[in-house]
Amino acid sequence: MHKFNLFFIMLFTGLVFIGCGNSRQSEEAEVSEEKDAPEESTTSGATYAVNMNKSKIKWEGAKKFTNTSHNGVINLKSGSFKVENGSIKAGNFVIDMTSIQNTDLEGSPEDQKKLVGHLKSEDFFHVEKYPEAKFELTGVEALSNDTAHTHKINGNLSLKDVTKNIGFPATVNMEDGQFTAKAEFNINRADFNVKYGSETFSPELVQDKIIKDAIHLDINLVAKRQSSS
Q: Which amino acid is at 63?
A: K
Confidence of residue 1 (pLDDT cuts 50, 70, 90): very low
Q: Across residues 32-37, what is the average pLDDT?
A: 94
DSSP annotation of 114? H
Q: Report the CATH architecture of 30-225.
A: Beta Barrel (2.40)
To the nearest whole number, what is the mean pLDDT of the chain? Answer: 87
**Strand 30-33 with 132-142, pairing:** unpaired
**Strand 214-225 with 56-62, pairing:** antiparallel
Q: What is the pLDDT of residues 126-149, one digit of tens each?
A: 999 999 999 999 999 999 988 999
DSSP annotation of 28? B
Residues ≥6 apart with Cβ < 8 Å to 177? 224, 225
* SS3 state at 51: coil
Q: Which of 11-20, 51-60, 160-169, 173-182 is predicted with the least confidence, judged by mean pLDDT?
A: 11-20
Q: Give residue 25's pLDDT.
A: 52
Q: Across residues 137-166, what is the average pLDDT?
A: 95
Taking residue 14's Cβ as centre, other Cβ atoms within 10 Å add up to 32
Q: What is the pLDDT of residues 48-96, one digit of tens each?
A: 999 999 999 999 999 999 889 999 999 999 999 999 888 899 999 999 9
Confidence of residue 12 (pLDDT cuts 50, 70, 90): very low
* SS3 state at 189: helix
Among 209, 202, 173, CA closest to 48: 173
Domain ranges across the chain? 30-225
Confidence of residue 211 (pLDDT cuts 50, 70, 90): very high
Residues ≥6 apart with Cβ < 8 Å to 71? 58, 59, 60, 61, 102, 103, 104
* SS3 state at 13: coil
Q: What is the pTM of this model?
A: 0.85
Please, which residues bridge with residue 160 across strands? Answer: none
* Percent of residues, the chain, with pLDDT higher than 90: 73
Q: Give residue 20's pLDDT.
A: 34
Q: Is the pLDDT of residue 9 over 70?
A: no
Half-sphere exposure of 203 (CA within 13 A, CB side): 1
Q: Which of 19-33, 172-186, 196-210 is predicted with the least confidence, judged by mean pLDDT?
A: 19-33
Q: Give residue 26's pLDDT.
A: 62
* Percent of residues, the chain, with pLDDT higher than 70: 88
